[in-house]
């Protein structure tokens, strides 16, 4: 696996630090998926978990959508990946017929949209919609996104090792 990631700086202001760590974690997921066939991307981890690398990409596209479009910008719910009411785990489960090309394109598109939205806001900006009855600051969302990617990148690392034995940071 080649590694196109740029390590975050050791010294930077808060905004640069958050942006760089989030981008590093986004690219970590991409690195974990690179060079695999569609079938390998769909391969499930171990029972009873339904996780796959493709499912993680679809999930993170959904997470980017929810936090930046719905919570931060106030868009109405219209997830391109799943319907939480009728299929709450559709991002993870519906990978057998999902197109990896479409999933990666959607994920990259949501990341680009999130970067544009984020660039125009202060860290203290508050989302236009609440999450579970609570206001969320832009700062909180960025920290949460880093946490979300870090957790799922651990899953991706284990799944990738199971798929083809590749390991790495």
How many CB atoms are closer than 10 A to CB 139? 17
Residue 1 has a pLDDT of 64
Q: What is the pLDDT of residues 12-49, one digit of tens each?
A: 999 999 999 999 999 999 999 999 999 999 999 887 88
**14-164: which CATH number, 1.10.150.120, 3.30.930.10, 3.40.605.10, 1.20.120.450?**
1.20.120.450
pTM: 0.94
| Contact residues for 165 (Cβ-Cβ < 8 A; gap 6+) | none
Q: Is the pLDDT of residue 165 over 70?
A: yes
Whole-angstrom Cα distance, residue 138 to residue 153?
22
Q: Is the pLDDT of residue 163 over 80?
A: yes
Q: Is the pLDDT of residue 78 over 70?
A: yes
Q: What is the pLDDT of residues 84-142, one digit of tens each?
A: 677 888 888 899 999 999 999 999 999 999 999 999 999 999 999 999 999 999 999 99
């Amino acid at each position: 696996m080649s590694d196109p990631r740029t390590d975050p700086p050791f010294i930077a202001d808060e905004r640069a630090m958050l942006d760089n760590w989030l981008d590093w974690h986004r690219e970590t997921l991409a690195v974990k998926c690179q060079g695999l066939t569609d079938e390998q991307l769909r391969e499930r981890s171990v029972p009873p978990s339904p996780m796959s690398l493709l499912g993680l990409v679809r999930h993170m596209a959904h997470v980017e959508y929810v936090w930046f479009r719905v919570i931060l910008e106030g868009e109405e719910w219209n997830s391109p990946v799943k319907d939480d009411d009728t299929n709450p785990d559709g991002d993870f489960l519906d990978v057998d017929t999902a197109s990896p090309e479409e999933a990666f394109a959607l994920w990259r598109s949501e990341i680009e949209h999130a970067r544009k939205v984020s660039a125009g806001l202060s860290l203290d900006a508050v989302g236009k919609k609440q999450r579970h009855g609570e206001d969320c600051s832009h700062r909180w969302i960025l920290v949460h996104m880093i946490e979300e990617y870090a957790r799922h990148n651990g899953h991706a690392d284990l799944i990738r090792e199971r798929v083809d034995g590749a390991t790495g940071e």
